């Protein structure tokens, strides 16, 4: 069993909505994009969103494959810093959201690249902080066909990083002031579609979560607009 190393500081920061990831490493711009993330859940705040642009169809995760340590850090603890600084050789730009996106709210993130837009791909990721290692995102999404003024919309379901058992115990949930990232992996170690929250109201007596923390898919509406 994973040894709990409760990170109360992380929990407090998450609940206060002041946890932020790393900043932007944009190059001088010739193309600018707006990425709007809308939280459709009832009681699942989203951690600061990490947004990356790539010049190749790089995938930061895949269903059925092991999660990287960088993805595990985000999915278990809500920090996007490692993911945003990951350089696969094709990264054009990376930006962090400003803080938590509360249920019913949204945030628009702007990022730019000197790439001419003919070969661009988007990746975004954010943790549902009232889960063990649940996250939303899309990776390797081609946006090359967007011309200035164009927008595209899509909905996102919830993934499970597979790096931590979904125990729902109080000291394992960052949103409940429990542990964040722990490098020890004790689950399948494979990314999958999330099976959802059980909660104390449905008989999981040890769970710190209740029916308000359940989520339906899709959990997020994503809008991408090319400005210039």
Helix, strand or coil, per DSSP, at residue 74: helix
Average pLDDT per run of 10 along the chain, which is 228 residues long? 40 40 49 97 98 93 97 98 91 96 98 83 97 98 95 98 97 95 90 97 96 97 96
Distance separating alpha carbons of residues 217 and 210, to the nearest angstrom: 18
C-alpha distances in angstroms, 46 versus 8, 62, 206?
18, 21, 24
pLDDT given for residue 117 in this prediction: 63
Domain boundaries defined on the chain: 13-226
Distance separating alpha carbons of residues 226 and 98, to the nearest angstrom: 20
Residue 16 neighbours by CB under 8 Å, 6+ apart: none
Six-digit token pair at 191?
């990314």
Burial class (CB in 10 A: 0-12, 13-18, 19+), 9: exposed
**Apex CA 148: angle with CA 156 and CA 125, to 5°?**
25
Distance separating alpha carbons of residues 166 and 192, to the nearest angstrom: 13
pLDDT given for residue 125 in this prediction: 98
Provide DSSP, 94-137: EEE-SS-B-TT-EEEEEEEESS-SSS-EEEEEEEBTTSSSEEEE
Burial class (CB in 10 A: 0-12, 13-18, 19+), 195: exposed
If one counts every other C-beta atom within 10 angstroms of the C-beta of residue 83, the result is 27
What's the topology of domain 13-226? Immunoglobulin-like (2.60.40)
Distance separating alpha carbons of residues 34 and 36, to the nearest angstrom: 6
pLDDT given for residue 188 in this prediction: 86
DSSP state of 92: E
pLDDT given for residue 180 in this prediction: 94
């Amino acid at each position: 069993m994973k040894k709990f190393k409760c990170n109360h500081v992380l929990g407090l920061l998450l609940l206060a909505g002041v946890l932020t990831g790393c900043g932007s490493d944009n190059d001088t711009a010739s193309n600018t994009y707006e990425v709007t993330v809308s939280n459709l859940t009832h009681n699942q705040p989203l951690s600061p969103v990490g947004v990356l642009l790539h010049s190749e169809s790089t995938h930061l995760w895949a269903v059925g494959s092991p999660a990287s340590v960088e993805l595990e850090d985000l999915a278990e603890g809500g920090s996007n810093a490692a993911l945003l600084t990951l350089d696969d050789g094709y990264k054009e730009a990376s930006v962090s959201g400003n803080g938590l996106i509360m249920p019913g709210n949204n945030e628009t993130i702007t990022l730019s690249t000197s790439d001419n837009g003919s070969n661009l791909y988007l990746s975004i990721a954010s943790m549902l902080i009232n889960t063990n290692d649940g996250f939303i995102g899309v990776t390797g999404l081609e946006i090359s066909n967007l011309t200035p003024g164009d927008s595209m919309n899509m909905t996102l379901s919830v993934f499970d990083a597979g790096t931590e058992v979904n125990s729902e115990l109080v000291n394992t949930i960052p949103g409940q002031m429990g542990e964040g990232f722990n490098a020890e992996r004790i689950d399948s170690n494979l990314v999958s579609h999330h099976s959802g929250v059980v909660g104390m109201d449905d008989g999981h007596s040890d769970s710190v979560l209740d029916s308000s923390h359940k989520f339906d898919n899709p959990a997020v509406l994503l809008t991408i607009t090319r400005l210039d």
